[in-house]
């Protein structure tokens, strides 16, 4: 039996994704009527044509409007056909914009459901990874080691932080731990699978130059122990011992751009993930 048309409207949101877009439009339109109260019933992730008759049948019991965001033509056609059988008004939220952009772009859309959601998820994963890199930078909290996808170890000024930030933009959660002879490394790094722990090393002469420049920017004398060759050799030797004990891959970052180092890190990481090492 058809619904009484003077009853309170019910807006059914039918989407091949979450349905947030159509709901926002429906609520914006409803705000123009009687204070904006409207009964909205969201039906997300509709990707099977066989689901549509049942959904429309349910909607027919009310004074309904169906708003939909379905990118697959066969789903849209089935919905419009079923709604017409029950005299239900339908509103296509997506197609007019798709048609306009098709004309503007000069090429057809992908017609792949859920792309907006995928884009949102990628964006938030990236933000989360960047926040992770900041929180667990420079060994601030060893608890991050177990939570990280990757852990980078090395002596000071081997570009650990820039590398972590670059990898965060690839949506990987990366922590880094400085290796200092006077401070024992956290035991957590020795429990990691080898492909999730990367050691960075560098030639002594270049590290000496980098540290001397760093001291200058801080207004300190370049003859400080931090930049002395004896200190550098001691740190690099210590770092090498730690990396051997951990059994991790070691990358020489001498004269390498961050992008080049990151490419090698990603190769090691994903190869290990594929092989379950």
In which region does residue 276 sit, left (phi positive, over 0), alpha (psi from -120 to 50) or beta (all else)?
left
Contact call for residues 129 and 175 (beta carbons, < 8 A): no
Classified as helix, coil or strand, 142 is coil
Q: pLDDT tens digits for 37-57?
A: 678 998 888 888 999 999 999
Residue 1 has pLDDT above 60, yes or no: no
Classified as helix, coil or strand, 139 is helix
The pLDDT value recorded for residue 137 is 94
Structural domains present in the chain: 10-113 (3.40.50), 116-274 (3.40.50)
Class of residue 11 by CB neighbours under 10 A (exposed 0-12, middle 13-18, buried 19+): buried
pTM assigned to the model = 0.60
Give the closest residue to 254 by CA, choosing from 188, 204, 191, 183: 204
Rounded Cα distance between 205 and 210, Å, is 9
Give the closest residue to 244 by CA, choosing from 188, 196, 190, 195: 190
Q: pLDDT tens digits for 206-223?
A: 999 999 998 988 888 766
CB count, 10 Å around CB of 50? 7
Mean pLDDT value of segment 180-203:
96
Rounded Cα distance between 104 and 88, Å, is 32
Mean pLDDT of all residues belonging to the chain = 88
Question: How many angstroms from the chain centroid is the CA of residue 7?
Answer: 44
Q: How sure is the predictor about 2, in pLDDT bands with cuts at 50, 70 and 90?
A: very low
Token code pair at residue 140: 């601030």
Query: DSSP character for 224?
Result: S
Q: How many Cα atoms occupy the beta-carbon half-sphere of 185 within 13 Å?
A: 28
Residue 4 has pLDDT above 60, yes or no: no
Rounded Cα distance between 62 and 266, Å, is 55
């Amino acid at each position: 039996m058809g619904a009484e048309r003077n009853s309170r409207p019910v807006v059914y949101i039918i989407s091949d994704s979450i349905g947030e877009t159509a709901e926002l439009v429906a609520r914006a339109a409803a705000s123009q009527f009687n204070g904006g109260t409207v009964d909205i019933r969201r039906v997300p992730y509709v990707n099977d044509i066989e689901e549509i008759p049942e959904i429309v049948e349910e909607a027919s019991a009310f004074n309904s409007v169906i708003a939909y965001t379905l990118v697959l033509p066969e789903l849209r056609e089935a919905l419009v056909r079923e709604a017409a059988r029950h005299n239900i008004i339908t509103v296509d939220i997506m197609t007019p914009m798709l048609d306009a952009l098709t004309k503007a772009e000069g090429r057809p859309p992908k017609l792949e459901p859920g792309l907006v959601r995928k884009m949102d998820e990628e964006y938030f994963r990236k933000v989360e990874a960047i926040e992770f890199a900041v929180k667990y930078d420079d060994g601030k909290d060893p608890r991050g080691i177990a939570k990280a996808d990757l852990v980078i170890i090395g002596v000071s000024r081997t570009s650990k932080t820039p590398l972590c930030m670059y990898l965060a933009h690839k949506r990987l959660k990366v922590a880094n731990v400085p290796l200092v002879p006077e401070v024992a490394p956290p035991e957590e790094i020795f429990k990691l699978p080898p492909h999730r722990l990367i050691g960075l090393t560098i030639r002594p002469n270049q590290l000496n130059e980098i540290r001397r420049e760093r001291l200058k920017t801080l207004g300190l004398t370049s003859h400080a122990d931090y930049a002395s060759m004896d200190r550098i050799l001691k740190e690099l030797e210590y770092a090498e011992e730690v990396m051997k004990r951990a059994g991790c891959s070691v990358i020489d970052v001498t004269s390498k751009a961050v992008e080049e180092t990151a490419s090698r890190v990603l190769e090691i990481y994903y190869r290990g993930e594929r092989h379950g090492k």
